[in-house]
Amino acid sequence: MNPIVLDTCVLISGLLSPFGASGALLSAFFEDRLKLAYSGDIVAEYAGVMERAHFHIAQSERIAILVKLRATGLRITPVTLPPIYWPDPKDLPFIATALATEAKTVITLNPRDFEPAKPFGLRILSPAQALALLRT
């Protein structure tokens, strides 16, 4: 699978529920079976959300994710997005980064937030769909 973009909700879900599809994707990432694409904005989003006290994510886990991402992920320069209605402007870095990759794929638990990017070629997968593709 070409490098894809992982929405923050999938990252957090995988950390909090390691035995679900999101957790399996994180395992695949750490086992080098899943390559992630990222931008500086995505790294900042991951770091900021993982630091939220109510998630209780250990500092060692937060550091491991970010070090692994920078070591094996693909840093992407995001594309410029058109000024249309976007349901959640916080998702724009994920959309712009995914559209700059060959796979043009984002894995998310909130597909409706990404729907306006489908006409630009964005492929939206759930964690279960992405996991099924990894296994083929």
Per DSSP, what are the bridge partners of residue 105?
123
**pLDDT over threshold 70, residue 16:** yes
Concatenating the DSSP letter of every residue in the chain gives ---BEE-HHHHHHHHH-TTSHHHHHHHHHHTTSS-BEE-HHHHHHHHHHHT-GGG---HHHHHHHHHHHHHHSEE--PPPPPS---S-GGGHHHHHHHHTSSS-EEE-S-HHHHGGGGGGT-EEE-HHHHHHHHH-
Q: CA-CA distance, 79 to 133, in Å (whole number)?
A: 26
The predicted structure's pLDDT at residue 136? 80
Q: Which two tokens stand for residue 72?
A: 């094996």
Q: CA-CA distance, 128 to 130, in Å (whole number)?
A: 5
Q: Which two tokens stand for residue 125?
A: 């997968």
Domain boundaries, the chain: 5-135
* Distance, CA of 22 to chain centre: 10
**pLDDT over threshold 90, residue 20:** yes
The predicted structure's pLDDT at residue 73? 96
Q: CA-CA distance, 11 to 25, in Å (whole number)?
A: 9
Q: CA-CA distance, 13 to 33, in Å (whole number)?
A: 19
Mean pLDDT on 11-39: 95
**pLDDT over threshold 70, residue 6:** yes
Class of domain 5-135: alpha beta
The predicted structure's pLDDT at residue 61? 93
The predicted structure's pLDDT at residue 88? 87
**pLDDT over threshold 80, residue 1:** no
pLDDT tens per residue, range 97-120: 999 999 999 999 999 999 999 999
Looking at every residue in the chain, the average pLDDT score rounds to: 94
What is the percentage of the chain residues whose pLDDT exceeds 70? 99
